Structure 1
């Protein structure tokens, strides 16, 4: 199935590279990354405040092409989302890690209606793959067994892989942005997973280079008795942060996060969790 998508993508890259409007790859993507979406490619170090875990994210998005009128862009996404334990002697065993890569298409249209409180209407369409894996930090070497193996409805290890299309529409002004999103899985392992999920969010600039952001998702909820997803579960990610622009660090922010809902990690996609974290995020 993947070969079907590879050839058109290669042809599109070759076509864009031949255009006179091609300006070269840039990390300043036309569609601004969502601040509070926990699966947005970024560099982040976010220790949990209420448990001995650490979130370590490494990734970025880049536009390979942007039109001269700043209306259309084509780009790529690469990211890893890791959950690490925090042990003595400065050790961070990796419990689980998710890998994401894909392509994106962005569009932006200025709004000139004075009756509307927004300056731009924008959209981003992603075609992505994500897979997840338990690592050595989830294995007890002394007992020679996986940790909490009985809690996993699929046994350990199991295969987690998804290919999906994600569409986000956003209305923005200088100080705030609202957005709606929809995601469709066109392939998934394990099977019997609902193919649909919804997303909404708000970002608000506040005084002193601070901001507030909220991301809400309706995600398919796993039912152990039915052995499939049944219904949806609301998942919140609330963030308050300070952008270090005044210190000359334009793309760095200190952020406090509160997460409540289904885990973002594929190995725990069936698990409900709630935690707070505080750390640094770098938006390349």
Structure 2
């Protein structure tokens, strides 16, 4: 970890705990540790988000494996506002499917960082939340990569980046069982290897969820990221729709269909075009 990143981490934590101390001195305020309900809930279609699950691509012989979590370590409630600080630790892997139930790991991306979150109730049926993340991500070949049409072994290289991103979500309960969410965000990379990646990118997203019952819901979620790699600018789309079993803001299980088209978001293949369709399952935590 670079000295610059260490300074950012220290400053980040100092600002939060100073804010928490000032808020906790007021009446009717509460401090929570390891709060199970996250203050900031990203869209289901968010790319760089912690997940526990897998996705089998239907148009290739690969599958995606997600392992990790994002947790709120400490939260402060003040009136109708909640502030929290947490951590992200997760990986997403590109696995090949081979005979005899073998899944060699083609490449794996490691993500870790800290986050500062905010949520406020605007009215009975409207809420706004925001998140600031300071993060590091690096990508590595594991069991070797093979080109699709030849037996040439892909040469690994160093890929890493440190960045911060700021995103916000507006939520509106159209009805008791129908929720709409809109997202906007910006990402700034302050250090990367290689340095051909544009430092600035933006995200917009939309999500609709309909609750068939207290335990069963259906959703459709879409995120579009505008980014530039090796002088090529693309609108990268990630569309996901699925059915979730579990109560609102609680643990559960989701079965989903995912469609992605755009620049490859995996570090070892950066600058390449990626188009995938897949069916998967994930645990909501």
Deviation, 1:171, is 0.7
| Corresponding residue number in structure 2 for 1:252 | 253
- Residue 220 (structure 2) pairs with residue 212 (structure 1): yes
- Any idea what SS the aligned residue of 2:7 has? helix
Runs of 4+ in 1 over 4 A off after TM superposition: 9-20
* Aligned 8 A contact 1:16 1:22 in 2: no
| Corresponding residue number in structure 2 for 1:43 | 52
Distance 1:232 1:266 in 2: 17
| Corresponding residue number in structure 1 for 2:38 | 29
| Corresponding residue number in structure 1 for 2:161 | 162
**Cα deviations across residues 64-92 of structure 1 (Å, max 9, x unaligned)?**
11112342111111110100000000100
Deviation, 1:219, is 1.6
Distance 2:165 2:91 in 1: 18
| Corresponding residue number in structure 1 for 2:129 | 122
2:192 to 179, 188, 194: 188
| Corresponding residue number in structure 2 for 1:226 | none
TM-score of the aligned structures, taking structure 2 as reference length: 0.84
Number of residue-to-residue matches in the alignment: 261
C-alpha RMSD of the superposition = 2.5
Distance 1:17 1:207 in 2: 35
- Residue 85 (structure 2) pairs with residue 84 (structure 1): no
**Cα deviations across residues 176-226 of structure 1 (Å, max 9, x unaligned)?**
10010100001111013210001000110135311100011012132xxxx
| Corresponding residue number in structure 2 for 1:237 | 238
**Cα deviations across residues 242-266 of structure 1 (Å, max 9, x unaligned)?**
00128xx942110100111111201
Gap runs ≥5 in structure 2 = 174-178
Which of the two has greater strand per residue? 2
TM-score of the aligned structures, taking structure 1 as reference length: 0.84
Distance 1:111 1:10 in 2: 27
Distance 2:19 2:64 in 1: 36
**Cα deviations across residues 92-146 of structure 1 (Å, max 9, x unaligned)?**
000000000001111122223x9xxx60121111000000011114269xx9x86
Gap runs ≥5 in structure 1 = 150-155, 223-229
Distance 1:16 1:82 in 2: 37
**Cα deviations across residues 14-68 of structure 1 (Å, max 9, x unaligned)?**
7689768432113421011321012210112101011110100001111111112
* Aligned 8 A contact 2:20 2:76 in 1: no
| Corresponding residue number in structure 2 for 1:104 | 115
| Corresponding residue number in structure 1 for 2:201 | 197
Distance 2:46 2:255 in 1: 15
Deviation, 1:4, is 1.9
